[in-house]
Structure 1
């Protein structure tokens, strides 16, 4: 029987993709007069890969989130032939908006309300503390969680087991008494498996599992987790 349930945050409980796009569109609109002949689709397709490269290199290069965003906007505007002097202002506007934007995955609020009080609950996220805490507060979800384990605050990143061990130790339970729910096979599944924690794969797009992936559970909607809890269906299985 589980005593604690840990969740990934982005694209598990919070809709990161929609929140990012919403914040970005409002950023561009806010600075519209400074961006002549701006084309949204071209900007998005150019910004995405540049931003991802800076994001994955941020730890190795010791970059702050402000630098990641500034450099991403700068390189994108330069590549598209725009004046990149505006990039620091774009970065600041975007970050302010994103940290206060919360769009939930379908069923997230109902799920947390059902589980709250029955389990110790926490978040394990590779995000930035300011954003993750701000978005949870904006969505009025922060009170559901006993602890937040955010990589830039804890000093460890999924899939390294240290962040999972820190969470288990802080919650005061055994590894066998914890269920971790997430949407990433790379960060979430391998991290939980490496730490000896049961993993529930949230897979709304029904992506096929690789032969090496054997999560204890797989769900396609968060409401399935409510059903499993309500009917005490915590029997280890790998869903088809």
Structure 2
């Protein structure tokens, strides 16, 4: 029997190609809303959006702002910088983004192949900090839902990764023991630190081979590498 019987996967950037899907959606909406009349380029808009989005997500994870404020401000703030002060524009843009983005189906390379193999020998679960209505659409549209036994979403649990409460709830609900569990994620702060703090084994998925100074248990750049780790005894 493999050492691990329960594999807990992050969703965005680990299985679902968040960056590609998000950029495709934002490019479509950039054209739809004629934002080229205000921004010098799509890249200018995207860089400002990314900066605010990352910052606002960090506040949301700490429960310092609401979901609504996160969704609105990440668009309204860069809009106001270029003179688009009408709040209704950001409101409509935000609604369109949340509607369109999760319908995109780009996945990380080898995701389906690896999940198909692992499902034969392991119980697979999703652990994500995303919004429930959005994450379920992603899973359904990209045909990922069929691979997972349990789906754990921070908004439903009431705690976000890396909080111990999140991991404790997921492990308990999966009826698993810590030593049977392996966490797989792309974020050092949420996935990996969360696993470490709760005493779980983990795999850091680093497809872009971003440099860091951490001494990690497992690090992979291709999901296929997970097969060897997950099936170790």
Counterpart-to-counterpart distance in 2, 1:72 and 1:27: 14
> 5+ residue gaps in structure 1?
236-240
Cα-to-partner distance string for 1:71-125 (whole Å, 9 max, x where unaligned): 2222211111234341111111111001222310001111111111311110111
**Counterpart in 1 of 2:73?**
71
How far did residue 35 of structure 1 move? 6.2
Pair 1:30-2:32 in alignment: yes
**Counterpart in 2 of 1:50?**
52
Call closer, same or farther: CA 1:60–1:164 in 2, change over 3 Å.
closer
**Counterpart in 1 of 2:141?**
138
TM-score (norm 2): 0.89
How far did residue 209 of structure 1 move? 4.6
Residues paired across the two proteins, number: 228
Which range moves more in the overlay, 149-158 or 199-208?
199-208
Counterpart-to-counterpart distance in 1, 2:200 and 2:55: 30
Q: Determine helix, strand or coil for the equivalent of 1:99.
A: helix
Pair 1:123-2:130 in alignment: no
**Counterpart in 1 of 2:188?**
185
Q: Determine helix, strand or coil for the equivalent of 1:22.
A: helix
| Of 154, 157, 163, the match for 1:154 | 157
How far did residue 46 of structure 1 move? 2.1
Pair 1:164-2:156 in alignment: no
TM-score (norm 1): 0.87
Q: Determine helix, strand or coil for the equivalent of 1:105.
A: coil
**Counterpart in 2 of 1:195?**
198
**Counterpart in 2 of 1:238?**
none
Tell whether the 8 Å contact from 1:128 to 1:151 is kept in structure 2 after alignment. yes
Tell whether the 8 Å contact from 2:36 to 2:42 is kept in structure 1 after alignment. no
**Counterpart in 1 of 2:227?**
226
**Counterpart in 2 of 1:94?**
97
Cα-to-partner distance string for 1:135-176 (whole Å, 9 max, x where unaligned): 111101101111111111111111112211111111112100
**Counterpart in 2 of 1:214?**
216
Counterpart-to-counterpart distance in 2, 1:207 and 1:89: 35
Q: Determine helix, strand or coil for the equivalent of 2:84.
A: coil
How far did residue 48 of structure 1 move? 2.0
Q: Determine helix, strand or coil for the equivalent of 1:168.
A: helix
